[in-house]
């Protein structure tokens, strides 16, 4: 069975500082990996996804993520955080043999941005 | 593309009552998914449809939960005899067959009192 772990429950950064949110997965082959963002009381918005190829993927809102097979990681980064980035971030994976491309989510990381 | 719509946004119900939520997917999407998200947790898969067929329902939380998608368009999720533990956000998402990563709706927040 696959799983996703987001080790940091809360992270606080200052506006303008760089950001890295950690994501580790457990799966025997290469999964499909995703990062979603959720603002309070809202649904989830897809930031970026990795299927294959270039291990550094670019997403919306200036985010990027790097797939590292050797570390089973897919960390999300942003060079300069804006106050509007404060939200909850979820890493998720799907596999090619999952019925219906079911997503398995991590527990989330809540990002707070200090002025 | 009007996005995935869910109705209602919020529902407060008394324990023991039945509730039904509706989801309208993106029109050209043939797959529709239901997830549950409890406070402080990531979403948890419940069930999905491909067109009108419910292809996976073993992860519905109990036999009090059921879902339908009668004409392959909108879907409903019903919870019978609600319990306080059912309080959560219920998220719907849709996608096209063969694609990964879907579009989520804004969710229905259920509070059972």
Chain B positions in Cβ-Cβ contact with residue A89 (cut-off 8 Å):
none
Cβ atoms A99, A35 nearer than 8 A: no
Q: Which of A68, A72, A80 is nearest to A20 (CA)?
A: A80
CB contact under 8 A, B43 and A103: yes
CA distance B95 to A17: 35
Residue in B closest to A108 by C-alpha: B42
Q: What is the pLDDT of residues A88-107, one digit of tens each?
A: 999 999 876 666 678 999 99
**CB contact (8 A) between residue B101 and residue A105:** no
CB-closest option in B43, B50, B100 to A49: B100
Stretch B93-99: mean pLDDT: 87
Q: Which of B33, B42, B45 sits opposite A90 (nearest CB)?
A: B42
A18 Cα to chain B: minimum distance (Å) = 24
B37 or A31: which leads in pLDDT: B37
The confidence score (pLDDT) of residue A99 equals: 63
* Contact of A100 with A107, CB cutoff 8 Å: no
Strand runs (DSSP E) across chain A, as ranges? Answer: 3-5, 10-14, 19-21, 24-26, 32-38, 44-50, 56-58, 64-68, 73-78, 87-94, 104-105, 109-114
Q: Beta strand A56-58 with A109-114: parallel, antiparallel or unpaired?
A: unpaired
- DSSP symbols for A42-61: --EEEEEEE-SS-SEEE-GG
Min distance B16 CA to chain A CA atoms (Å): 25
Mean pLDDT of A19-34: 91
* Predicted confidence (pLDDT) per residue in B12-37, tens digit: 999 999 999 999 999 989 999 999 99
B35 or B71, which is more confident? B35
Beta-carbon count within 10 A of A85 CB: 19
**Any chain A CB within 8 A of the CB of B99?**
yes
Q: With contact defined as beta carbons under 8 Å apart, do A106 and A4 qualify?
A: yes
Residues 6+ apart with CB under 8 A from B53: none
Q: d(Cα B31, Cα B16) in Å, to the nearest integer?
A: 31
Greater pLDDT, B64 or B60 = B64
* Residue A100 confidence (pLDDT): 67
Q: How far apart are CA A66 and CA A88, in angstroms?
A: 19
Q: Is the pLDDT of residue A25 over 70?
A: yes
């Amino acid at each position: 069975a696959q799983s996703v772990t987001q080790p940091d429950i809360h992270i606080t950064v200052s506006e303008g500082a760089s950001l890295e949110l950690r994501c580790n997965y457990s799966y025997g082959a290469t999964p499909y990996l995703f990062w979603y963002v959720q603002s309070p009381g809202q649904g989830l918005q897809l930031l970026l996804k990795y299927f294959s190829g270039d291990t550094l993927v670019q997403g919306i809102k200036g985010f990027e993520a790097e797939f590292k097979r050797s570390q089973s990681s897919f960390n999300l980064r942003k060079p300069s955080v804006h106050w509007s980035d404060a939200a909850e971030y979820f890493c998720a994976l799907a596999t090619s043999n999952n019925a219906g491309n079911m997503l398995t989510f991590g527990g989330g990381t809540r990002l707070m941005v200090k002025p | 593309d009007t996005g995935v719509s869910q109705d209602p946004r919020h529902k407060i119900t008394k324990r023991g009552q039945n509730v039904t939520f509706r989801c309208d997917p993106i029109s050209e999407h043939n797959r529709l998914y239901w997830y549950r998200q409890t406070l402080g947790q990531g979403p948890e898969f419940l069930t999905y449809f491909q067109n009108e067929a419910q292809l996976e329902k073993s992860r519905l939380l109990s036999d009090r939960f059921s879902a339908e998608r009668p004409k392959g368009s909108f879907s409903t999720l019903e919870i019978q005899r609600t319990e306080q533990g059912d309080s959560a956000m219920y998220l719907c998402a849709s996608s096209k067959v063969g694609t990964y990563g879907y579009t989520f709706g804004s969710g229905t927040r259920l509070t059972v009192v």
